[in-house]
């Protein structure tokens, strides 16, 4: 089985334009995500899926600098972008990661992938029942499930967010929820706004171990410095329908 991680990234963002290439302690956010995801022991291939827009030439250049594969597809139909990328790279199963999660952790990626391999569902995720901080989101699904979603999804948000058609239809797909030992979902470690970015920059500055620290190190930092969580506590996550 070939497991391909696909990281979606683009320069366009309504809340924080160009966020994928924002600097975080000397590296771009995309570089942080890629370097951390590549520490996974169970991923066979990592691909960045960006768009065909001229602005995203910068994403392609960054991929070249990082020495990783890049696929270009639709800007608005991210479901199609994932399907075409997965088909191009002959993926049997896909790990979905987004480029606005610069604290993504290989331990959690491998936990979700291993549960997926052990239990054989169509879709596994640690977001169905949220127990991890937002920003450590990992989804794993079969190519067949992706293809079925690509063929049958009709709502705009199902094409923007890639996987809702799968997890909203448990009568069609076998769904597996992967939960952590404790509920840490109160923390927000994703980047959608300037406040989110400021928080992540502060984390990297304080831990200062390049990309080698784990999510548990970040958790320890937040427990020692609880005021950190106040930086972006007021930020509201967009709903699925707010494409």
Chain segment 174-187, per-residue pLDDT in tens: 999 999 999 999 99
Answer yes or no: pTM beyond 0.75. yes
| Residue 15: predicted pLDDT | 84
| Residue 208: predicted pLDDT | 82
Q: How far apart (Å, rounded) are the C-alpha atoms in residues 139 and 114? A: 12
Q: What is the 3-state secondary structure (H, E, C) of the chain?
A: CCEEEEEECCCCCCCCCCHHHCEECCEEHHHHHHHHHCCCCCCCEEEEEEECCHHHHHHHHHHHHHCCEEEEECCCCHHHHHHHHHHHCCCCEEEEEECCCCCCCHHHHHHHHHHHHHHCCCEEECCCCCCCCECCCCEEEEHHHHHHHHHHCCCHHHHHCCCHHHHCCCCCCCEEECCCCCCCCCCECCCCCHHHHHHHHHHHHHHCECECCCHHHHHHHHHHCHHHHHHCCCCCCCCCCCC
Identify which has the larger pLDDT, 15 or 80.
Answer: 80
| Residue 235: predicted pLDDT | 86
Asked if pLDDT for residue 6 goes beyond 90, the answer is yes
The arithmetic mean of pLDDT across residues 19-48, rounded, is: 98
Other Cβ atoms closer than 10 A to 123: 24
Other Cβ atoms closer than 10 A to 163: 22
Sorted by sequence, the CB contacts under 8 Å of residue 27 that are 6+ apart come out as 35, 211
Asked if pLDDT for residue 241 goes beyond 70, the answer is no
Q: How far apart (Å, rounded) are the C-alpha atoms in residues 160 and 149? A: 12
Percentage of the chain lying above the pLDDT 90 cut: 92
Question: What confidence tens digit (pLDDT) does each residue in 61-73 have?
Answer: 999 999 999 999 9
| Residue 213: predicted pLDDT | 96
Q: Are 68 and 46 in contact (CB under 8 A)?
A: yes
Q: How far apart (Å, rounded) are the C-alpha atoms in residues 53 and 145? A: 28
| Residue 162: predicted pLDDT | 97
Asked if pLDDT for residue 243 goes beyond 70, the answer is no
Percentage of the chain lying above the pLDDT 70 cut: 98
Asked if pLDDT for residue 40 goes beyond 60, the answer is yes
Task: List domains and CATH numbers for the chain.
Answer: 3-231 (3.90.550.10)
| Residue 81: predicted pLDDT | 98
Q: Are 68 and 47 in contact (CB under 8 A)?
A: yes
Tell me the pLDDT band of 1, cut-offs 50, 70 and 90. Answer: very high
Task: Report the mean per-residue pLDDT for the chain.
Answer: 95
Question: What confidence tens digit (pLDDT) does each residue in 144-168 have?
Answer: 999 999 999 999 999 999 999 999 9
| Residue 200: predicted pLDDT | 97
Question: What confidence tens digit (pLDDT) does each residue in 96-130 have?
Answer: 999 999 999 999 999 999 999 999 999 999 999 99
Q: Among 46, 36, 12, which residue's Cα sits nearest to residue 103? A: 36
Q: How far apart (Å, rounded) are the C-alpha atoms in residues 183 and 203? A: 20
Question: What confidence tens digit (pLDDT) does each residue in 211-224 have?
Answer: 999 999 999 999 99
Lookup result for tokens 């996550």: 237
Asked if pLDDT for residue 236 goes beyond 90, the answer is no
139-142/123-125 β-pairing = antiparallel
């Amino acid at each position: 089985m070939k497991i391909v991680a696909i990281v979606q990234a683009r320069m366009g963002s309504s809340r924080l334009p160009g966020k994928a290439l924002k600097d975080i302690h000397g590296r771009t956010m995309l570089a942080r995500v890629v370097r951390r995801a590549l520490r996974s022991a169970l991923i066979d291939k990592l691909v960045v899926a960006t768009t065909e827009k001229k602005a995203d030439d910068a994403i392609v250049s960054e991929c070249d600098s990082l020495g990783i594969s890049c696929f270009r597809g639709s800007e608005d139909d991210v479901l199609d972008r994932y399907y075409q990328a997965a088909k191009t790279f002959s993926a049997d199963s896909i790990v979905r990661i987004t480029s606005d999660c610069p604290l993504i952790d290989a331990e959690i990626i491998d936990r979700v992938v291993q549960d997926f391999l052990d239990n054989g569902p169509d879709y596994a995720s640690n977001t169905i029942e949220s127990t991890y901080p937002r920003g450590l989101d990992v989804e794993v699904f079969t190519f067949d499930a992706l293809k079925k979603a690509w063929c049958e999804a009709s709502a705009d948000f199902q094409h923007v967010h890639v996987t809702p058609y799968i997890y909203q239809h448990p009568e069609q797909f076998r769904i597996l929820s992967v939960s952590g030992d404790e509920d840490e979902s109160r923390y927000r470690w994703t980047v959608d706004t300037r406040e989110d970015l400021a928080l992540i920059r502060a984390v990297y500055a304080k831990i200062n171990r390049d990309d080698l620290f784990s999510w548990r190190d970040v958790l320890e930092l937040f427990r020692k410095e609880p005021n950190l969580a106040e930086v972006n506590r007021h930020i509201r996550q967009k709903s699925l329908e707010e494409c």
